Copies of this chain bind each other. A is one copy, B any other.
Amino acid sequence: MCGIVGVQGTERAAETAFMCLYALQHRGQEAAGICTTSNGRAYLHRATGLVIEGFNDTVLAGLPGETALGHVRYSTAGGSGLVNAQPILVRYHKGDLAVSHNGNITNAQILRQELEREGALFQTTVDTEVIVHLIARSRQPTVDEQIREALSKLVGAFSVLLMVGDTLYAARDPWGFRPLVVGRARGGWVVASETCALDLIGAQIACEPAPGSILKIERGEVTHLEPLEQAGDPAPCIFELVYFARPDSRVWGASVDRARRAFGRQLAREQPAAADCVFSVPDSSNSAALGFAEESAIPYELGLIRNHYVGRTFIHPYQKGRDFRVRIKYNAVREVIDGKSVVVVDDSLVRGTTSRGLIALIREAGAREIHFRVASPPVISPCYYGIDMPTKAELIGATHSIDEIRRHIAVDSLGYLSLEGMHRAVAEFGPFCDACFSGRYAAPLVDLEMGRPASTRC
């Protein structure tokens, strides 16, 4: 998963991009990058780690210009280090071309093989790189048409920002899998993955480009180019609401906090529990737990404390000890739990490893009964549209029955939100892609069907 931002028409655009990336940090902590254009020349800085680790005043001062592209990259198995960091910057016959991408192109391997056969040289393993090659090879006369032609060949998920000279392009795939929002700030335009980035810089939200949109932003004006051909119903990702987006963002028109609250209330109706208190696995489940507490009228408590000093490169002197990774991050509040029957609400359950460790911690703190409630359905299929998930074999919801899972994580009762209940809770903002919960894939999985491995998502 990734976060992206584009800025056009503001002084010191790199600073605005930096602020937005900071607000989008939850979408990717592996690497961060900013590329700007000034007087026709591109400037690029990328660094591993957090935005605030890789950028400072000196670095930003070296990124002049009024147009900027930014990116934060999620940690993925395949590509550690800088090699897959974005923005990607290349030189082609129309000048410098930079790209920031969030999503996963499902025919990237097929396209890449064709391009390599024609002599194209690749620098990275990410699917994003096929986009720039397709643009460079297009026979269309204008940059606008080259971009449109290139994007037309892609299948799958992409919210993508492109910079050619002082012009910024923003596009979404025809299904609209990944979010993108346009705002007005500091006399120019800002395009970002989530509204929380616009909030931080005090921008006015202008619009959420429709699926298939291609926007061109230059000299302070936004032009809607001819959109990409429609490919079926829009399919925005429901997992953004369940877990990924920040609770203070609006995604798909919905307040993320309100959506999670609705999931929690619906969960309480579907999977009630008699208990002394309800608490969340902080911080991503706070809203859902509060919704559960409201609906069930069971008192809301703070049963787990999270340590926010956990670094990305944490060392584990004692890591052989079971559940250590959980303990380093959470501690149970004995006074809340001891002798009580508790409801623990989590937003989702993927592998089950963390949940199992958490339950052990809560049990040690003296819980009499533990009722585990998950504010989304079982995850049964990997996402091929941009969310980083393990293989099907590692998804506990795909390989175990609910009762097996209950025994595995060792709780007294386990309840998931139903697929229908989830959709009903946010019905006014749908329909959604729910492939990870249902196994129904909205866009063709071209590479997989042709026997190629899925490409590295972004």
Contact = CB atoms under 8 A, between A and B. Distances in A.
Nearest to A200: B327
A245 to B, nearest CB: 11
Interface stretch (A209-217, A302-310, A377-385, A442-450): A302-310
Nearest to A59: B315
A336 B256 CA distance: 11
A330 to B, nearest CB: 9
Interface string A256-299: 01100000000000000000000000000011001000100001
Given A19-B318, A50-B311, A247-B333, A119 B91 contact: no
Contact of A248 (B23, B120, B301, B331): B331
Interface in A62-113: 90-93, 97, 113
Binding site of A, secondary structure by majority: helix, strand, loop or mixed?
mixed
Given A116-B92, A300-B300, A311-B52, A247 B12 contact: no
A124 to B, nearest CB: 9
Interface string A3-44: 000000000100100110011011000000000000000000
A26 B331 CA distance: 14
B122 A91 contact: yes
A320 interface: no
Contact of A60 (B25, B248, B309, B317): B317
Nearest to A25: B309
Copies of this chain in the oligomer: 4
B121 A19 contact: no
A248 B333 contact: yes
A317 B132 contact: no
A122 B90 contact: yes
A301 B291 CA distance: 10
What band does the interface of chain A fall in when counting residues whose beta carbon is under 8 Å from B?
Answer: 35 or more
Nearest to A186: B318
Contact of A317 (B18, B300, B305): B18
A156 to B, nearest CB: 21
A246 interface: yes
27 contacts: A12-B317, A15-B317, A22-B309, A26-B309, A50-B311, A51-B309, A52-B310, A52-B315, A53-B311, A55-B315, A90-B123, A92-B120, A92-B121, A93-B117, A119-B136, A120-B120, A120-B121, A121-B121, A123-B123, A196-B305, A200-B331, A248-B333, A257-B335, A258-B335, A287-B302, A290-B301, A308-B308
